[in-house]
């Protein structure tokens, strides 16, 4: 379902965009959970409330004629609140654990699309635990967790394949111990066609 309120002059085929996006993610057959070509797409879009638009289409300074800044003229477009902060520990200005988890997820998408790990399905989950020193600087990767949807019958080979194909490139040399992260699975579970593997540096 695509729902909400928008302001646009564009004529878009929302259903086609949704199907194309799902297909690019990897949902291209019933075996993957659903087929992007056959799935139903419900469109529930309406025009943005004019009362909201009057308050957010331009910043208060621009509405009052006190600013010609392009950002003030652009406005927010809608109401909302944002929480967060910038961190200096990565080029992305994000905390190291989420940056590594995102890199790992992107790598898993590449591995699935290339067929390097047969049976890997879309929508994996990733988590990276990073240790910090007393100065709050990231110093090593403690654990890497991958939970991946896969074809039945490949779960025994999956942990090793995922580790060799995806994890090492995503663990920067500046954030590992001299012992490095080991590639042995310390816990594996299976529920339906989901498997989870957790790796940690050797003791």
Q: Render pLDDT for 122-140 as a digit per residue (tens, 0 to 9).
A: 888 888 888 899 998 888 8
pLDDT of residue 8: 79
The CATH classification of domain 2-74, taken from the options 3.40.640.10, 3.30.300.10, 3.30.420.40, 3.40.50.10490: 3.30.300.10
CATH topology for the 96-199 domain: GMP Synthetase; Chain A, domain 3 (3.30.300)
pLDDT of residue 172: 62
The span from the CA of 17 to the CA of 24, in Å, is 11
The span from the CA of 180 to the CA of 173, in Å, is 9
Distance of CA 60 to the CA centre of its chain: 34
> 3-state DSSP: the chain helix, strand, coil percent, rounded to 5?
35, 25, 45
pLDDT of residue 174: 53
Residue 95 in contact with residue 6, Cβ under 8 Å?
A: no
Residues in the chain where the model's pLDDT stays below 70: 54-60, 62-64, 71-80, 155, 167-203
Packing angle of the helix pair 158-170, 96-114 (nearest 10 deg):
130
Indicate the pTM of the whole model.
Answer: 0.65
Give residue-wise pLDDT tens across range 159-186.
777 777 776 666 665 555 433 333 333 3
Instruction: Single out the residue of 117, 170, 121, 125 nearest to residue 146, CA to CA.
Output: 125
Instruction: Give strand pairing partners of 46.
Output: 5
pLDDT of residue 178: 36
pLDDT of residue 75: 63
């Amino acid at each position: 379902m695509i729902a909400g309120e928008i302001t646009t002059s564009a004529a878009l085929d929302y259903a086609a965009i949704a199907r194309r996006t799902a297909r690019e993610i990897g949902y291209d057959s019933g075996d993957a959970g659903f087929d992007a070509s056959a799935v139903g797409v419900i469109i529930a879009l309406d025009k943005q409330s004019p009362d909201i638009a009057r308050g957010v289409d331009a910043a208060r300074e621009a509405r009052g004629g006190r600013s010609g800044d392009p950002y003030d003229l652009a406005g927010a477009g809608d109401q909302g609140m944002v929480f967060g902060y910038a961190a200096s520990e990565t080029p992305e200005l994000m905390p190291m654990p989420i940056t590594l988890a995102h890199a790992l997820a992107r790598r898993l998408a590449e591995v699935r699309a290339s067929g390097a790990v047969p049976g890997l399905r879309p929508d994996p989950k990733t988590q990276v635990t990073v240790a910090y020193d007393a100065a709050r600087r990231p110093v090593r990767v403690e654990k890497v967790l991958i939970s991946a949807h896969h074809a039945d019958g490949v779960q025994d080979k999956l942990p090793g394949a995922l580790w060799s194909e995806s994890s090492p490139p995503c663990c920067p040399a500046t954030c590992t111990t001299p012992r490095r992260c080991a590639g042995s699975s310390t816990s594996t579970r299976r529920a339906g066609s989901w498997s989870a593997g957790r790796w940690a540096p050797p003791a």
